[in-house]
Amino acid sequence: VADALLAALEAAVGAAHVLADDDRRAGFETDWTGRFHGDARAVVRPADAGQVAAVLAACRAHGVAVVPQGGNTGLVGGGVPRGGEVILSLTHLRDLGAVDRAAGVVAAGAGVTLAELQRHVRALGLDPGVDLAARDGATLGGMVATDAGGTHALRYGTVRARIAGLQAVLADGSVVEPRVLKDNAGYDLAALLVGSEGTLGIITAVRWRLVARLPARVTALVSLDSLDAAAALMTTVRPRLPSLEAADFFLDDGLALVLDHQRRSDPGFARAPVYVLLECADRSDPTEELASALREAGIEDAVVATGSADRERLWALREGHADAIAAVGVPHKLDVGVPLDRLAAFVAEVDAIAGDARVVAFGHLGDGNVHVNVLGGDDAIDEAVLRLAAAHGGTISAEHGIGVAKARWLSLVRSPAELRAMRAIKAALDPDGILNPGAVLVT
Ligand SMILES: Cc1cc2nc3c(=O)[nH]c(=O)nc-3n(C[C@H](O)[C@H](O)[C@H](O)COP(=O)(O)OP(=O)(O)OC[C@H]3O[C@@H](n4cnc5c(N)ncnc54)[C@H](O)[C@@H]3O)c2cc1C
């Protein structure tokens, strides 16, 4: 059977794009964190939607499931096999069209990375309106599939807000395409695929809604005594800063880890328990607006950077967290969201339940989005942290998705009626259960 499947896959995409040997599959079978791994039958790399449809037909005929994969930067194990599936790698779908300036959109293949899209459109004074530290690897298809957030979600929303249409291949091999830009005829299938994590269809191309790239930027690093003070800072500055583009936080133990990893000893500012990075962007210099909002909040001594190199040095401290943590061990990554006024209590309680395990927390302050990283904990810590987030009125996934890591706990934040509706949608669009089984919904 396996050989017949491989022959059908080779007929679909060409033998050069079917990777069946152990060593050629290996890089696709383990996730970015090293925590999730599964053996695949093969990795297939289609070049267009027609080939994707042919791969799905071959897999359906052989009763084998597919795991779609983009840049494999996902953090919830949804893009790597559980065992025995075919990995459908979408990185060869690389068309990048001309920007439609009148409409403010650009068409791009699912395999284009965020950094490539940023370069493509920034040259024209435009911006994708999304940014995240995995920009060099994360693909547009993966970002749509996870409804990624990132640092600019505060201003522009998550990826969902950037989608003006999708081309996708459904489980039965049919291809859905976007038509005109403004189009509300019937159910919005593209909206359904956003955040579906490869379980409802394969995204092959996106029509991405762009924003103006605001050229004048300022970043401030504010040192604070507590997360309650950080929440209060947000409450004061947010209404005063229409130019606010990002508001992230990290803690002093996380900073220590990053400095160690980056072989730096002195961050260039006094150490404190909590740090908040605020970035404003506008057509004209927003520095005075930011300074005045900080004064209103009683902050006199922020580190302020306007040049891009200085700003990047500050952001490297926040964006360096994932790499610094990965250098120490394989973390349990729990991306959760809580109401801002619960943030301090939540993080303190996570520390308490983690016991001897090391907790590193950082995230997107403006969205109440905490990335809880636990080093040295066992599987029980996942459930404990997710239950705690739910108990604080929060969510078990703010931006990374459910994947396989959290599928067991979806009922903590989704009602029986919502879960029934999700299962009905899944059964209707993927009746044979070949699209990423085990991700999002427990099979
Ligand atoms: C250092 C670092 C920083 C990060 N920062 C952020 C952040 O700030 N915000 C944030 O939201 N995420 C962040 N992430 C997580 C990750 O980058 C995002 O989840 C991203 O959207 C994944 O894109 P990808 O192409 O790597 O997808 P993959 O990891 O390959 O896949 C992710 C999921 O999408 C599915 N999928 C992938 N491509 C397709 C497709 N074409 N069609 C259908 N399904 C598909 C997969 O099956 C899987 O379930 C970060 C990750 C790292 C390593």
Q: Is 32 in the pocket of ligand 1 (CB under 6 A)?
A: yes
CA 201 to CA 425: how far, in whole Å? 11
Nearest CA to ligand 1 atom 15: 74
The model's pTM: 0.97
Among residues 408, 385, 405, the alpha carbon closest in space to that of 395 is found at 385
Which stretches of the chain drop beneath a pLDDT of 50? none
**Is the Cβ atom of 278 under 6 angstroms away from ligand 1?**
no
Q: 413 — phi, psi (to 5°)?
A: -130, 0
Cα dist from 280 to 240, 247, 290, 438, whole Å:
11, 9, 7, 41
**Position in ligand 1 atom list of the atom nearest CA 149:** 11
For the chain, the farthest-separated pair of C-alpha atoms sits apart, in whole angstroms, at: 70
Residue 377: per-residue pLDDT: 86
* C-beta of residue 142 within 8 angstroms of C-beta of residue 70: yes
**Structure tokens, 126:** 């435009």
What is the rounded distance in angstroms from the CA atom of residue 217 to the CA atom of residue 278?
11
Q: How far apart are CA 422 and CA 427, in angstroms?
A: 9
In the prediction, which pLDDT does 378 show? 87
Sign of CA dihedral 214, 366, 315, 322: negative
Which of the listed residues 76, 140, 146, 155 should we mutate to test ligand 1's pocket, taking the one with most ligand atoms within 8 A of CB? 146
What is the model's pLDDT at position 360? 98
Q: Which of 75, 156, 435 to mutate to test the pocket of ligand 1 (most atoms within 8 A of CB)?
A: 75
In testing the pocket of ligand 1, which one of 69, 87, 130, 436 has its CB within 8 Å of the most ligand atoms? Answer: 69
Look at strands 40-44 and 85-89 and give their pairing: parallel
Q: How far is the CA of 300 from the centre of ligand 1 (A)?
A: 38
Residue 148 Cβ inside 6 Å of ligand 1? The answer reads: yes
Structure tokens given for 133: 């530290």
Query: What's the length of the chain?
Result: 443
Ligand 1 centroid to Cα of residue 78, in Å, is 9
**Alpha carbon distance 139, 137 (integer Å):** 6
State residue 265's pLDDT score.
87
The sheet carrying 40-44 orders its strands as: 18-19, 40-44, 85-89, 66-69
pLDDT for 2 equals 60
Vertex 412 angle, CA 411 and 417, to 5°: 40
Q: What is the pLDDT of residue 1?
A: 52
pLDDT (0 to 100) of residue 372: 98
CA distance 15 to 20: 10
Residue 149 CB less than 6 A away from ligand 1: yes
Tell which atom from ligand 1 comes closest to the C-alpha of 73: 26
Does the beta carbon of 399 lie inside 6 Å of ligand 1?
A: yes
Q: Hey, which of 147, 334, 400 would you mutate to test ligand 1's pocket, going by the most ligand atoms within 8 Å of its Cβ? A: 400
